[in-house]
Structure 1
Amino acid sequence: MRSTRARLGLQQLQTEHIAVILRHWLSLPLCGLTVERSTMATAPLATSDKSSLKEDLTCAICCDLFNEPVMLACMHHFCKPCISRYWRGTQGPVTCPQCRKEFSSRQFQTNYLVAAMVEKIRASTSDIYFKNLEKQLKETLESHRLRREDYINSIQRDKDKMDAIKRVGSDLQARVQGDFQALRQILHSEETRMLEQIKREQDEEVKKVQHHLEATKLAVRELEENMKTLQQASGAPENVVLTELPQLSTHVQVDIAPEFDVNAFSSRYIAPLQYITWRKMFRSLKPGPSPLTFDADTAHPSIYISRDKTVALESETMIPYMSVNRRFLQCVNVLAAQGFHSGRHYWEVEVGCKPKWDIGVAFEAVDRHSRIKLSPETGFWTLRLRNGSEYSAGTQPWTRLQLSSSPQRVGVFLDCEERRVSFYNADDMSLLYTFANGPRGKVFPFFSPCISGSRHKAQPIKLLHHPPAALSG
């Protein structure tokens, strides 16, 4: 019973001793287990702890790391070969080289945990370990350097992006200010012209009345002088006999007073001046709505063109046509007669409730005798409608558009310098789509009324002209 209790106590002491060493060992950055946690600030502490642990794992006989570590009953550890040599030749009881405790038998216990710890220490202090650690440090440093370089490049890109945004914003502000300044100049010029005209007509009318007033006043003075002469003659003494009338001043003839029609004068200015001015502004807008017409010589034989060349309508029968190279023969297309290669231009097309159509611009040299896909690669920049509600931009593949409402009129804006083609809902001028990389060179407005099919009544597309008539003045 006593021996069993003693053996249990010895095992408990061994376990506690090993636990202390294990806690100490686990706190160290060994063999890459905690290398990633180590920093320059904690390196001295780790080295000190590792040295302390190395001392704990050093044999007191050979003063080197344990080789096949064994533990005596007194809890001291030694190399198995060292303790075997130490006890060799000893008669009777043997003693611990450290504490001198005697043992009746030469028994010891192999400590595999300490052996594993020794191997960890050997590995952590070997050249291979240091080379691996040095490699890890270099790789980590290179990774940080590359990441830092990426962040620096990202910072520079962000700065460049902000500069570009500010530059574009500044250019747009200047353009908007210029456009509105031009509008203000138009309004100011029209206001000045109208005020000067009112002042000129007012002065002319006042001058007429003033002339009549002066003539009337002169006639009154002359009449008053004649009346005075006559009164003097009539008051002559009785013995004076008048043989004739006294000499009188020549009678001044006064024309009839000029008529001034207030209604006629004011009606020219008490009018819808804002609307009249708005109509006149169209002649000065840049770009103003272009008065396009369809080029009948380019129209597919299934397209009917109105006499004024502003309406295109699909026809159920083929229309006789002259054979010209400019005519579309495979696709139901037509071009405008007007082409553009510079400046900014805008036009509007009334599409109404048509279930399908194509609108945009096209190069003059597009293939007109084959079936081709409408895309910038083939020389077309277009907006399309299919099935009454499916809107798409003419890219390849098609770019579907989600519109809040179906436009009855479509506006097309062409900026030749900026190479942009933009489409607008002309009912509220909301932007539908923009081709940022537009055509370079001369292009023509492009239209396709498409074939609606027998289920739908043919509906035209119309070129809108604003204002509908020129104004005088």
Structure 2
Amino acid sequence: MAAVSETLQGFQREITCSICRSYFSEPVTTWCGHSFCRACLSWSWRLGTAAFSCPRCRQVSPVQEFPRLNGGLAQLTKMGKELCSLLLQSTEGQSRCARHKKIFKLFCEDDQTPLCVRCSQSPEHGAHKLSPVGEAAHNFRKKLQVLQSRLRKHFEEAEELLDQEERPAVDWHLVITGEYKKLHHFLMEEESRCLGKIKEEERASQDKLSQHREAIQDLMLVLQEAAYQPNLDLLQEAKELLGMCESVLSKRAKAVSLDLRAYPIPGMIEMLRRFQVDITMDPTAASPCVIISEDLKSVKAGEGWQVQTKHPDNSAVHAVLAEQAFSSGRQYWEVDVTQLPQWILGIYTPYVRRKRKRNVDSCDSVFLLSCMKYKEDYYLQAFPGSLNHRVKCPVPRVGVYLDNSLGTLAFYNVLQSSLIYEFHFIAFTEPITPFFSPGPPLPGTKAGPMTLCPGDSHLPA
């Protein structure tokens, strides 16, 4: 019985339209070999469609002519419908109750099971609704027709939506590509403008140095000539010569500037914030001279960290490490140092392998950026590195960007959206841990905390 049922179902699938799920009516076959009812395919291939595709495999037809009626398949469908009807009748006749060996003549609507007459008389079906098998099957076929009609409606809606998706009113690929081209063009213009500004500043600085050199050269010639003048003439010009020397020598400090220039990069901080990580400070990896907040988000110098020397560069450094360590990917975090005149930020790694000229490996465990105050000026210094630049005003917030794959570590002035310093080609071999030091504190002052910034925080304009 199971084999007959499977054969019957397989044959029914061969003569059923995949669109309406009914037996073929005037079947037609597309060039790719799939068959459909003429009306179903006609509905699917609407007038005005630029390319006709198979509703089943979505392959585009090389021709736009509607396929002819498949007479052989129509005849096979007619014969199949008759054969299926006969098979159903024969299988129904063979279906008998396993308990009483009687033919199933009734159907229990409550239990959804066929019954013989004797089964229907049992107490368990006494209060159930019973119907003749033929009537129950007829009623169920009506329900199937209703469901089929609803499914066809849903299918048509899905086809319409799919058609809209295949031919959208807005080509978003083109729109997004155009927007990114605008952005690229804007960034190229900004890059050109920034590079032009740098060239102008370099040219102006070179011009000043050239003028300063020429002034020195001219003065040296004047002094050389004055040395051969008579004593009285020399003494008469002495005051003027000394004034000229003082004027030229006083311009030396202005000729060479140590100020760190800021060149904002539009959108850089917003892009870096895509890689922002949530960091907390590790109390177990902290110096006893620093105090960590309860939420592990800020640290400040403790009373035990006393700086007596006037040269804080020679003072001891006390720090805390983050609880998190990184060995791959890209990470970014921001630190608020508004309340600190002096601070140190960076990373700690147990071992870094670096190639030297003599092929000797070295161990540089920290890569740091520090801010030190001397008199009224602030100086940004890198270790290891040669950065030692003066800034006109302290940096309120520093962004730290780490790229393990490229071996780079960069520090940014978040407020100005500009790069402060970048380490290149660091060969990390161990996990990297963020490093924080809220000092050294200035003698006689009480510095505030160094605070990790949440991802959604912003500086006031």
Normalising by structure 1, report the TM-score: 0.33
Using CA pairs under 8 Å that are at least 6 residues apart, name the structure with larger relative contact order, 1 or 2: 2
> Which protein shows a greater Rg?
1
Q: Give TM-score scaled by structure 2 length.
A: 0.34
